[in-house]
Amino acid sequence: MIVGQQKSLDDIWRMIAPFSRVLVVGCNECMAAAHAGGEAEVAELASALRIRARNEGRELEVFEFTPKRLCEPEYVAEVLAEVARCKADLVLSLACGVGVNSVADQAADLFVLPAVDTLFMGTGAEHGVWLEYCAGCGECVLEYTGGLCPVARCSKGLMAGPCGGTRDDGSCEVSPDVPCVWKLILERATRLGTRERLLEMPLFKNWSKSSSGSPRRLVREDLRIPTEDCKEGDTR
């Protein structure tokens, strides 16, 4: 799942200052599971905005809408219909950044603003705790590291073993809340008898496949539905 966190109400309030009819839009998938932007958080944020508006004597209409997700064009179409219905002048998104971009791409004349900071891909390890597990680097090395990712989980992103700063309790010298993933990798490899696999890890990693390269795009010609404008081999 993608993990995110709602921005502070002050930040959101500042952002929406020019608008008077705000449609708060959530995502009932990742952002719900992240307790940042599901239907319940949409209702909470909308309520907080109404209360603040009332408190400050400001004219503000706040509407709520939570599609299943916001990261497909079809869901965006649902949102746009809702915008028209309530004559909103702003979409305030509690979806991840993908949702905000999706709306902006499809509605040239509509304002859309993020009320969530999109953080990472990770796990809801326990109620109220989320951990980053994947950095989407584009070239997975988990086969060598026993399923534990040094790219996402090493503070320094080291690819060839621990830095030497591992604390006695096994945590990272950068942050005591973070376990040293290289220590975990080595312990796990020892337990599973796969330490030699670590030596097989490629010496060089192609970082152009990660977000450090150009914006990424995936086209599956085996799936794509051919149209007049989009012939086979076209990778727009």
Partner 1 sequence: MAQDVLPPCHAACPALTDTREYVRAVADGRYEDALDILLAANPMSAVCGRICHHPCEEACRRSSVDSPVSLRAIKRFVTDATREYRSHRVPGRAPSSGRKVAVVGSGPAGLAAALDLSLSGVDVVVYERDERPGGMLGATIPRYRLPYEVVEEDIDDIRRAGVEIKTGVEIGTDIGLQDLCRDYDAVVLALGLAESRSLAVPGVDLDGVHLAIDFLRRARAGGMERLNGSVLVVGGGNVAMDVARTAVRLGAEDVTAVALESVDEMPAHKWEIDEAHEEGVKIINSYGPVEFTGDGRVAEAVFRRCTRVFDDGGRFAPEYDDADRISLPADTVVLAIGQSADTVAIKGAGIEESAPGRIKAGPGARTSADGVFLAGEVMTGPGSAVEAVASGHRTAAAVLEYLGVPPAPLVHVMPSSPAVPDIEDIPEDVRGRMSRIARVSSPMRSPAARAASFEEVEGTLSEAEARKEAARCVACGLGAEVDPDKCVGCYTCVRICPYGVATVGHTAAEAPAEACLTCGLCAAECPAAAISLQRFGRGLVHERLARALELNPGARVAVLLCQNALASRRFLTSQQAGNGPPAAIVPLPCVERLAAVDIMAPFESGAEKVFLVHCGDACVYPEGRGRFEQTVSRAAALLKAAGLRDDALNVWFGRIESEQDLERIYADSTRVGPREAADR
Rank residues 75 and 144 by Cβ distance to partner 1 and give the closer one.
Answer: 75
Asked if 191 touches partner 1 (CB under 8 A), the answer is no
**Closest separation between CB of residue 6 and partner 1, Å?**
7
Asked if 228 touches partner 1 (CB under 8 A), the answer is no
**Closest separation between CB of residue 134 and partner 1, Å?**
18
3-state secondary structure the chain: CEEEEECCHHHHHHHCCCCCEEEEECCCCHHHHCCCCCHHHHHHHHHHHHHHHHHHCCCCEEEEECCCCCCCHHHHHHHHHHHHHHCCCEEEECCCHHHHHHHHHHCCCCEEEECEEEEEEEEEEECCEEEEEECCCCCCCCCCCCCCCHHHHCCCCCCCCCCCCCCCCCECCCCCCCECHHHHHHHHHHHHCCHHHHHCCCCCCCHHHCCCCCCCCCCCCCCCCCCCCCCCCCCC
Residues 125-154 touching partner 1, rule: CB under 8 A, are 126-127
Binding mask 65-104 for partner 1 (x = CB under 8 A): -x--------------------------------------
Asked if 176 touches partner 1 (CB under 8 A), the answer is no
Residue 165: count other Cβ atoms within 10 Å of its Cβ: 12
For partner 1, which stretch binds (CB under 8 A), given 6-14, 133-141, 143-151, 197-205? 6-14
For partner 1, which stretch binds (CB under 8 A), given 48-56, 140-148, 202-210, 215-223? 48-56
**Closest separation between CB of residue 21 and partner 1, Å?**
17
Asked if 175 touches partner 1 (CB under 8 A), the answer is no
Asked if 40 touches partner 1 (CB under 8 A), the answer is yes
State the residues that interact with partner 1 by CB under 8 A: 5-6, 8-10, 28-29, 32-35, 38-41, 43-44, 47-52, 54-56, 66, 124, 126-127
